[in-house]
């Protein structure tokens, strides 16, 4: 099966490249996501066996002042991709986010829970989900959260840098979610694409996040412990760390459906963190 993957430099795309070296990867030079028609044209021209969209506009705060670009990349581009996949009768796997929810409450949200994004980023991702679902394609939308890896900019790399520079760090403790390694997301996306190719009945919206759920402050404590760093971590509320875009306080995701339909178990992010830190040290 020829696999076409949108994205080349992002955290998940780089992990997909490790696991699917024979796949075709479409970076900006091949298909700019601000040109949805070009993305669809590439799919029609290549006629792959399946498509994974691992590219997105992920600058959550910048999206507040750049809504048009965020919508092009997060909504219009996946919509065009999904329509092209529907025309060719091939599976489409699309990666989304916990930011489609408002973050209220304390329970883990299932896939059919009401959506209510707090900002532009979350709204554009939700718009993309809705367009994909309406496309007529065989699709799987994977909502995930708190992505980390040895690549790019992410919380793990930032904490390791700050933990080596400072004796004391104040970190938000009232946002709770499941840190998810890009490697685990990549493996899950490939498993979904393979299963959907073999079984046309598979698909829908799924949640996938690392376990156990944790606060950013406690996530940082584990990063420091595994990294051999000893800064003091002081818990603070989100109100003490204002950002242009509001973050959901509750990012807990119920991941039972992806295990039921695809056999993909919720990974222990602490184990995945060991691999990332080992790679960073190397």
Distance in angstroms (rounded) separating the CA atoms of residues 249 and 171? 14
Q: How far is the first Cα of the chain from the last one, in angstroms, to the nearest whole number?
A: 34
Of the CA atoms within 13 Å of residue 164, those in its CB half-sphere come to: 8
Query: Where do the DSSP E strands lie in the chain?
Result: 3-6, 24-26, 50-53, 92-97, 139-144, 147-148, 168-172, 176-177, 180-181, 204-207, 214-215, 232-236, 250-251
11 within 8 A of 154, measured Cβ to Cβ? yes
Task: Kindly state the tokens that stand for 197.
Answer: 């190719």
Name the percent of the chain in helix, strand, coil, to the closest 5. 45, 20, 35
Phi, psi dihedral angles at 112 (to 5 degrees): -95, 10
Instruction: Identify whether 121 is a catalytic site residue.
Output: yes
Catalytic residue selected from 57, 121, 139, 206: 121
Distance in angstroms (rounded) separating the CA atoms of residues 76 and 84? 13
Picking from 264, 138, 80, 271, the residue whose alpha carbon sits closest to that of residue 190 is 264
User: Hey, what's the torsion of the CAs at 203, 152, 117, 85, to 10 degrees?
Assistant: -30
Q: In degrees, to the nearest 5, what angle opens at C-alpha 178 toward C-alphas 102 and 130? A: 45
Catalytic residue numbers read: 121
């Amino acid at each position: 099966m020829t696999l076409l993957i949108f994205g080349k430099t992002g955290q998940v795309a780089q992990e997909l490249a490790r696991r699917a070296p024979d796949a075709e990867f479409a970076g900006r030079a091949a298909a700019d996501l601000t040109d949805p028609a070009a993305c669809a044209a590439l799919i029609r021209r290549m006629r792959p066996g399946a498509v994974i969209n691992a590219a997105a506009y992920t600058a959550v705060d910048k999206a507040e002042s750049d809504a048009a670009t965020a919508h092009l990349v997060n909504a219009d581009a996946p919509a065009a991709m999904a329509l092209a996949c529907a025309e060719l009768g091939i599976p489409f796997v699309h990666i989304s986010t916990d930011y489609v929810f408002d973050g209220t409450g304390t329970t883990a949200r299932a896939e059919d829970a009401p959506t209510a994004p707090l900002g532009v980023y979350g709204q554009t991702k939700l718009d993309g989900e809705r367009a994909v679902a309406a496309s007529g394609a065989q699709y799987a939308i994977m909502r995930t959260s708190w992505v980390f890896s040895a690549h790019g900019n992410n919380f793990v790399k930032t904490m390791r840098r700050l933990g080596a520079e400072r004796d004391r760090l104040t970190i938000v403790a009232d946002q709770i979610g499941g840190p998810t390694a890009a490697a685990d997301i990549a493996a899950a996306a490939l498993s979904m694409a393979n299963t959907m190719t073999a079984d046309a009945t598979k698909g829908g919206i799924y949640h996938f996040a690392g376990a156990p759920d944790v606060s950013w402050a406690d996530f940082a404590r584990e990063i420091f412990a595994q990294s051999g760093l000893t800064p003091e971590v002081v818990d603070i509320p989100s109100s003490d760390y204002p950002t242009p875009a509001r973050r959901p306080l509750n990012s807990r995701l119920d991941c039972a459906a992806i295990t039921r339909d695809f056999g993909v178990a919720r990974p222990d992010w602490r184990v995945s963190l060991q691999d990332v830190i080992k790679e960073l040290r190397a």
